[in-house]
A and B are shown apart, each in its own frame.
Chain A
Amino acid sequence: QVTLKESGPGMLQPSKTLSLTCSFSGFSLSTSGMVVSWIRQPSGKSLEWLAAIDWDGDKYYNPSLKSRLTVSKDTSNTQVFLKITSVDIADTATYYCARRRVYYGYWYFDFWGPGTMVTVSS
């Protein structure tokens, strides 16, 4: 059974670096066609895709945020990390990690974590 769960600091100050962890089970990120992505959602607003890392270790970033984002994974392929530098109030959101996989040529996000809320405030 596939599960993902995000963890983070809850609250941090502007200009700091936000570190998020996605812990998952039920699949291996080393399996071909598997990807873990980060997506965020400010309260009451839509979703924004941030970054992804795939089974080969290739990394993908939203160009509008690329200079501030770093995605990585652990060597056991059970955790994925996201760092966002120089946070400000606009980074306040619920952050989700989600599994993306390919199925007969179709890609989709089939499993999502419950999300972790991050508030940037002084």
Chain B
Amino acid sequence: NTVMTQSPTSMFISVGDRVTMNCKASQNVGTNVDWYQQKTGQSPKLLIYGASNRYTGVPDRFTGSGSGTDFTLTISNMQAEDLAVYYCLQYNYNPFTFGSGTKLEIK
């Protein structure tokens, strides 16, 4: 299976911070990576598809980048409503595999 290694596991941040989190694939997945946001008690929500395309209605403070094996999700100007766990997903190979998540917490 393609392992998606996310880092860091958690981050303590303040409102207004710039946040960067990473996802590393164990093999080349091209740009077949999505990012999902999951708030406590909710189902995941799509943020970024195809590594760098912002989904409809997602604020422009969310930016995805990367290709091959290294991917990044950046949140500029962190807002309180962005507190959540963020997961990357690769869909280049069967089975699709998710990262272990990066949890954003208030400092």
Contact = CB atoms under 8 A, between A and B. Distances in A.
Nearest to B96: A49
Q: How big is the B interface, by class? A: 20 to 34
A46 B50 contact: no
A74 interface: no
A46 B100 contact: yes
Interface of B is mostly: loop
A85 to B, nearest CB: 18
* Range of interface residues on A (Cβ < 8 Å): 20 to 34
Given A46-B99, A49-B97, A108-B34, A114 B50 contact: no
Given A49-B98, A114-B43, A107 B91 contact: yes
A109 B48 CA distance: 10
B87 A112 contact: no
A66 B102 CA distance: 29
Interface in B77-107: 87, 89, 91, 94-101
Contact of A47 (B46, B50, B87): B87
A64 interface: yes
A109 B98 contact: no
A8 interface: no
Given A46-B87, A47-B87, A49-B98, A110 B46 contact: yes
Interface of B: 1, 32, 34, 36, 42-46, 49-50, 53, 55, 87, 89, 91, 94-101
Interface of A: 46-49, 60, 62-64, 96, 98, 103, 106-110, 112-115
Given A46-B98, A49-B89, A49-B95, 13 more contacts: A46-B100, A46-B101, A47-B87, A47-B98, A60-B94, A63-B94, A106-B50, A108-B46, A108-B55, A109-B44, A112-B44, A113-B43, A115-B43
17 contacts: A46-B99, A46-B100, A49-B89, A49-B95, A49-B96, A62-B95, A106-B50, A107-B32, A107-B91, A108-B34, A109-B34, A109-B46, A109-B89, A110-B46, A112-B43, A112-B44, A115-B43
